[in-house]
Structure 1
Amino acid sequence: MYPKVYVYLERIQENAKFLKSLCDDSGVEMVGVTKVVCGEPTIARALKESGIEILGDSRIQNIKKMRNSGIKGPFMLLRIPMISELDDVANYVDYTLVSDLEITKRLGNVSSKFNKRSKVIYMIDVGDLREGVWFEKAVSEISNAMTIEGIDIVGIGTNLGCFGGVIPDKTNMGRLVKIKEELQRETGRSLKIISGGNTAALPLIEKGSLPKGINQFRLGEAIICGTDATNNRNVPGTRQDTIILEAEIVELKEKPSVPFGNIGYDAFGRKPTFEDKGNRMKGILAVGEQDVDPTCMHPLDDDIEILHASSDHTIVDLTESKVRYKVGDKIRFRLGYSSVLRAFTSPYVEKVIL
């Protein structure tokens, strides 16, 4: 069945081992994040075999899937838990990221009900404006959270880049270290973990400018894709040919490069623009926005241009290609992060683990 994605496990393991070594040299524990591949157990197992101890995912369903496939964890739940899933969180998760006192109290109650204690990392917003207590109020709120029964606050953390696009730097990361020190002074409690970053924070390690005390990164994109979307780069020392999409040509015709008629908006509310290049040889692929993000597809044939996509079709310009394609032929693409995410989420894309 097409489209297909081919997952090259050894290449992913190369990335994982390289990045783990990079983090180890800076005293940083690397959590391997599996959310982009929907917690695929084969990939998760490959990460564990690469020396990664903790696996992180945003969906409790993925963590349950990995546990039920025989992967023992430990597991970290990256998305702030919903009240409706706290029973599963208490029973399946080893580390939980939290940012709200009410949810933290409820998690403590549920954990106590099962005669358990949940390990918690309290998230702090240092500027990106996604999850976390605002950094100026962090000491007060987290001090209160430390009194909640049924949980152990083992650290603090932050997320940067994913919402506001804020790039991690010495200033915003340094805030975490100062907050940890103040919390320890005020409460007399030790905090072992400062979970300071994701793939976007890797340049701080590469440049030797990571503030002392940041001792955990949560990495997914860099391992699986070898890319860093926030900093718009490939991560040095990693491979980007880890996951390859293959899509089939269902139509091949010479057509004008500009549509006829008044142009409105496409199916996704975007107004397309076109450059008049005369007639071009165009192929339609049986893959669309429901399966991939066409802006994060990179043809292995460098002479192919992706023009546009709708829900179920992607249109490519084959005019300059040296290959004489025909209907039924397959075209291969290297995938960026958002395309990998959609492809693994889509039931219409076959996954082939190599």
Structure 2
Amino acid sequence: MKNPRIVVNLEKLEKNIAFIAAKLAASELSITAVTKVFEAHPEMIAVYDKFPEIDYFGDSRIENLISYQASPKKKILIRIPMQSEAEEIVRYADISFNSELETVKCLNQAAKEQNKIHEIVLMVDLGDLREGYFDQQELLADTAEIMKLSNIWIKGLSVNLTCYGAIIPNHQNLGQLVELKKQLQQKYNLTLEMVSGGNSSSLYLLDSSTDYLPEGINNLRIGETFVLGRETAYGETYPQMHQNVFTLKAELVELKTKPSYPIGEIGVDAFGNRPEYVDKGNMKRGVAAIGRQDVNPDDITPLDERIEILGASSDHLILDMSNTGDDYQVGKEVEFSLSYGSLLSSFTSRYVKKEFIR
């Protein structure tokens, strides 16, 4: 198998999905499975498709939604749409998340041309300060205007928390979303089917002894928990889940004893940073064939605890392998665990191959 590569254990993934799917079904929550972190790879989509508890697929890239049109699950564009992609959104997404009236008008025009009714969910900003209506009066006024559009149907409300501002979801801020739903229904005689209470960071509320998920929240968007086996509000792992579904493997292309401190005047590196070094004397330094073009070296961890990541350029990962004895030679692979960020970047790099096992 070519390197570098990500090895995906589909059996572990399936067990992770089964655990969370059962957990949310027991709480009568519909599930939007977010597919962007693994670039909606068909091998993994096939695993998700097995679970009837998953009602929707959600992705921020229309290209990914296009790739699994054969799936019977409804597709949601979870990133605020670009007006320039309105035609594709209506064609390939059953639902889109929105916060701008003029963009919704573009979607309405595209839906007219395609003879479709396009469903939208209005995003509300409850303090994380990424996307969504922050001004309640603007939300009310825009809702009135959207209701006049012939080919748009307002399906519900949604909020995003923790992704940008790192604001933790709780019964208070999510309760505001439920109250807004009630206001809109009463004011405009709307029936709002979906109240999406955030992402994997809201999962802890299902187990908390001090907080709770407010009644009225009926959907969660789950991405990281399925693939890495942890909730994302506090980063707690689920003992019933696998945290090692993915393993990154990179091949050693050089292994030599060299000084630990560069020789000569130190300027800036290829990325404009001025690095700092500690002189540890001579060390066994390994070079692996993967770099910052593929993954952030700060977001991966060697599975062999004797190995330390020293840094990386675009294409080379520099390793301190002084404590590994004779266990590694040029041509051998070094294995790494992945964070959500490193999984996202490396899986979407075309230079990192994918291998699926059971």
Given the two structures, how large is their TM-score scaled by the length of structure 2? Answer: 0.93
Instruction: Indicate the residue corresponding to 2:120 in structure 1.
Output: 120
Kept after mapping to 2: 8 A contact 1:99/1:123? yes
Alpha carbons of structure 1 residues 63 and 22: separation in structure 2 relative to 1, 3 Å? same
Kept after mapping to 1: 8 A contact 2:225/2:232? no
| Residue 94 of structure 1 pairs with residue 94 of structure 2 | yes
Kept after mapping to 2: 8 A contact 1:54/1:73? yes
- Measured after TM superposition, the shift of residue 230 of structure 1 is 5.3
| Residue 290 of structure 1 pairs with residue 293 of structure 2 | yes
Q: Partners of 2:278 and 2:235 in 1: how far apart?
A: 26
Alpha carbons of structure 1 residues 323 and 143: separation in structure 2 relative to 1, 3 Å? farther
Which ranges of structure 1 fall in alignment gaps of 5 or more residues? none
Kept after mapping to 1: 8 A contact 2:202/2:233? no
Q: Deviations over 1:79-99 (max 9, x none)?
A: 112122111211211111111
- Measured after TM superposition, the shift of residue 189 of structure 1 is 0.8
- Measured after TM superposition, the shift of residue 274 of structure 1 is 2.7
- Measured after TM superposition, the shift of residue 246 of structure 1 is 0.9
Alpha carbons of structure 1 residues 309 and 231: separation in structure 2 relative to 1, 3 Å? farther
Which ranges of structure 2 fall in alignment gaps of 5 or more residues? none
1:197 aligns to what SS in structure 2?
coil
Instruction: Indicate the residue corresponding to 1:332 in structure 2.
Output: 335
- Measured after TM superposition, the shift of residue 195 of structure 1 is 0.8
Instruction: Indicate the residue corresponding to 1:352 in structure 2.
Output: 355
2:49 aligns to what SS in structure 1?
helix
Instruction: Indicate the residue corresponding to 2:72 in structure 1.
Output: 72
Alpha carbons of structure 1 residues 275 and 47: separation in structure 2 relative to 1, 3 Å? same
1:202 aligns to what SS in structure 2?
helix
- Measured after TM superposition, the shift of residue 166 of structure 1 is 1.7
Instruction: Indicate the residue corresponding to 2:262 in structure 1.
Output: 259
| Residue 154 of structure 1 pairs with residue 164 of structure 2 | no
Given the two structures, how large is their TM-score scaled by the length of structure 1? Answer: 0.94
Q: Partners of 1:92 and 1:280 in 2: how far apart?
A: 54
Kept after mapping to 2: 8 A contact 1:143/1:183? no
1:123 aligns to what SS in structure 2?
strand
Q: Partners of 1:200 and 1:99 in 2: how far apart?
A: 22
User: Which residue type is aligned with residue 94 of structure 2?
Assistant: D
- Measured after TM superposition, the shift of residue 323 of structure 1 is 5.7
- Measured after TM superposition, the shift of residue 148 of structure 1 is 2.0
Kept after mapping to 2: 8 A contact 1:3/1:245? yes
Q: Partners of 2:163 and 2:268 in 1: how far apart?
A: 28
Aligned-residue CA RMSD in angstroms? 1.8
Give the percent of matched residue pairs that are identical in Structure 1 and Structure 2.
Answer: 39
Q: Partners of 2:217 and 2:326 in 1: how far apart?
A: 50
Q: How many pairs align?
A: 352
Q: Which moved more, 1:271-280 or 1:92-101?
A: 271-280
Alpha carbons of structure 1 residues 166 and 268: separation in structure 2 relative to 1, 3 Å? farther
Kept after mapping to 2: 8 A contact 1:227/1:337? no
User: Which residue type is aligned with residue 291 of structure 2?
Assistant: G
Q: Deviations over 1:311-344 (max 9, x none)?
A: 1111111122366211111111121111111122
Q: Partners of 1:147 and 1:25 in 2: how far apart?
A: 38
| Residue 275 of structure 1 pairs with residue 275 of structure 2 | no
- Measured after TM superposition, the shift of residue 66 of structure 1 is 1.2
1:134 aligns to what SS in structure 2?
coil
Instruction: Indicate the residue corresponding to 1:134 in structure 2.
Output: 134
| Residue 109 of structure 1 pairs with residue 112 of structure 2 | no
Q: Partners of 1:201 and 1:94 in 2: how far apart?
A: 24
Q: Partners of 1:95 and 1:286 in 2: how far apart?
A: 41
Q: Partners of 2:265 and 2:204 in 1: how far apart?
A: 47
1:16 aligns to what SS in structure 2?
helix
